[in-house]
Amino acid sequence: MAVTRRASHAGSWYTDSGTELNKQLGSWLNAADLTHGPARAIIAPHAGYSYCGACAGFAYRQISPVVVRRIFILGPSHHVRLAGCALSSASVYRTPLYDLHIDQQVYRELEETNQFEWMDMNTDEDEHSIEMHLPYIAKVMEDFKDSFTIIPILVGSLNPDREAAYGNLLAPYLADPQSLFIISSDFCHWGQRFRYTYYDRSCGPIHRSIQNLDKMGMDIIETLNPPAFTDYLKKYGNTICGRHPIGVLLQAISSLRSNTNGQKMNLKFLKYAQSSQCNNMSDSSVSYASAALLLE
């Protein structure tokens, strides 16, 4: 019997009305240009849609649904401590648009590596980092709703060696043109409530300093150099919540390049936004960024 994960954040983080949601997602996708597709991977935010829905549209616009058959979703764990990565105990993920089915064959292949734990349903339903991508996936894939599966992976606090191990493991899937990787991440969480108040006064107002810091990280991610991204995080401590899923993607790209005599790949950030503009030390904000990876 199918074990179904409910859309636990519908009605709070995004609308639970399928009609309204369909319209909203359609308008954000229409507002974005197709400039860096067809994407083999995207990086997109996972906050409430009123904050980041428009920004996420720029990443999702780069997807060509015609070719996609398997969608890997790598989201950071916000509520449970994980040293590795975990798979879902559900077989179906519900969305207000239609149900998405987990790829049981790929799950079996991943389980056989002995590198994955299983998350229980409470952990799964508490976590928003994967769920916030499901409606967008359903919308983009609506004309092919019976011809694709999803592979949700919850990513823990990985050290660089473990990021490399998971990257190596996922690289063959990334190499497949029918695969799409969705990397779930917000960018800088700034303010006392996040215990992060880095401020370079030479940038001018605080929000400009935050943007500058994020831009530095985005530029490094675009170089597809995993150690450089690790060094950046160590140096500035930027509170990028999906830093480990991003690290796994960079390692998968690195592994793929070394196995294909340097296949040309191009990752580009397409949109950046902040939930609000910080001007005082008592303010707070979260940053959002959308990117797409092309394999040439």
Ordered by start, the domain boundaries in the chain are 33-295
Above 80 in pLDDT, residue 262? Answer: no
Predicted local distance difference test score (pLDDT) of residue 105: 97
Predicted local distance difference test score (pLDDT) of residue 258: 85
Query: Average pLDDT, stretch 142-170?
Result: 97
* Pairing between β-strand 85-88 and β-strand 70-76 as defined by DSSP bridges: unpaired
CB neighbours of residue 272 within 10 Å: 17
Cα(40)–Cα(171) distance, integer angstroms:
12
- CATH number for 33-295 (one of 3.30.428.10, 3.40.830.10, 3.30.43.10, 3.40.50.720): it is 3.40.830.10
Cα(90)–Cα(211) distance, integer angstroms:
38
Q: Is there a cis peptide before residue 135, judged by omega within 30 degrees of 0?
A: no
Cα(251)–Cα(255) distance, integer angstroms:
6
Q: How many helices (H) and strands (E) does the chain have?
A: 9, 12
Cα(232)–Cα(169) distance, integer angstroms:
25
* Pairing between β-strand 92-93 and β-strand 149-155 as defined by DSSP bridges: unpaired
Query: Average pLDDT, stretch 164-185?
Result: 97
Give the global pTM: 0.96
